Amino acid sequence: MHSLRLASSAHSHSLFTMSAASASLALPSPLSSFRSDGPLPSRCFLRLNNPSRSRVFMSVSVGSQTVVDDALFADYKPTSAFLFPGQGAQAVGMGKEAQAVPAAAELYKKANNILGFDLLDLCINGPKEKLDSTVISQPAIYVTSLAAVELLRARDGGPQIIDSVDVTCGLSLGEYTALAFAGAFSFEDGLKLVKLRGEAMQEAADAAKSAMVSIIGLDSEKVQQLCDAANQEVDVADKVQIANYLCPGNYAVSGGLKGVEAVEAKAKSFKARMTVRLAVAGAFHTSFMDPAVSRLEAALAATQIKTPRIPVISNVDAQPHADPETIKKILARQVTSPVQWETTVKTLLSKGLKKSYELGPGKVIAGIVKRMDKSAEIENIGA
């Protein structure tokens, strides 16, 4: 059966069903050109923008599928942002502060049940080698970052800050945290996805000798030239590529171990200030992660994802997406695609972002934002 849904998205972006007869909005009828006995077109969108940044859009349900206008957030105008860290931000001792706030402490209890091990103990006590592993660090950062939201909520003025946030994003893994904060999926479903993501990425890394290295002090064009030079000296299986566009002067290169070693050997001749081998399992955000994609696709297909209540910027294309099916496809692609963090931050700043908050362990994101704009206002909320 065909049904029409009108959705309003200001801060809540809540969906509500509305019949054409009871609609109080003066909208031209989207059905006027349709034959009553014919099928509805598979896509029909109607969007209005009002001065308060409320958006009205129309989605069409055909059978059991609802198609949402993926460009719903295309004209977003950010003022306050929540930014969530990715793998590498973990540190022994994180999560300790969160135990003073019941709502934050509760997240760790829920996580223990879902994960089947004591996440809080690993966060607070380590050992570091175990916490640094992909399968532990990803759920640990996800939970601790959302616990930081609860710490902020518990402080004076915290709820007002949370309500004022009109855009969110996260670095790689942090995109899942951002989507959970924006209500695209539940804390529990997000944690299950993150757990599977960590396991699948670890398995993919174990299947081939690969690595990641940060190149410090070169622009992206020079780093690409460095990759090209290294690739001339190794087999196809060991080729490297830029995997993480962090910020000017800091780009991560991923690929086969021999390719990464060639990059390290040539970096000085390209005038790089230094190289830093990253403590990760393998070549994330490259085709080396292909084996993880099918597992992620299956898990995402089985997960209920809703249109986020605020824009969530994708790592794959630095754009916000509203259609749940598109979000699923992008999350599956994310592990094999370069992270467009530099473009994301540049876009937020150029669109007029006033204030941002980094929620979770570490201060990596604050450092990146400040490097791109020294006057940018960013606050760290740890847990």
Active-site residue list: 172, 285
CA atoms within 13 A on the CB side of 19: 2
Two tokens at 102?
């019941």
Cβ–Cβ < 8 Å for 139, 198: yes
Phi, psi dihedrals of residue 321, rounded to the nearest 5°: -125, 145
Residues 318 and 73: their CA atoms lie apart, in Å, by 12
Element (H, E) at 358: strand 355-359
How far is residue 171's CA from residue 174's CA, in Å, rounded to a whole number?
5
| Cα 280–chain centre separation | 18
Spatial CB neighbours of 63, under 8 Å, sequence gap ≥ 6: none
- The phi, psi pair for 22, rounded to 5°, reads -95, 0
Angle at 43 (CA atoms; ends 37, 49), nearest 5 degrees = 120
**Side chain identity, residue 58:** M
- 78 upstream amide cis, omega within 30 of 0: no
Tell me the backbone φ, ψ of residue 7, rounded to 5 degrees.
-130, 135
Element (H, E) at 378: strand 377-381
What is d(CA 94, CA 136) in angstroms, rounded to the nearest whole number? 13
Distance of CA 229 to the CA centre of its chain: 31
Amino acid identity of 319?
Q
Q: Which residues pair with 208 in a beta bridge?
A: none
Answer yes or no: are the C-beta atoms of 360 and 85 closer than 8 Å.
yes
Residue with tokens 């955000």: 285
Cα separation, 288 vs 312, whole angstroms: 26
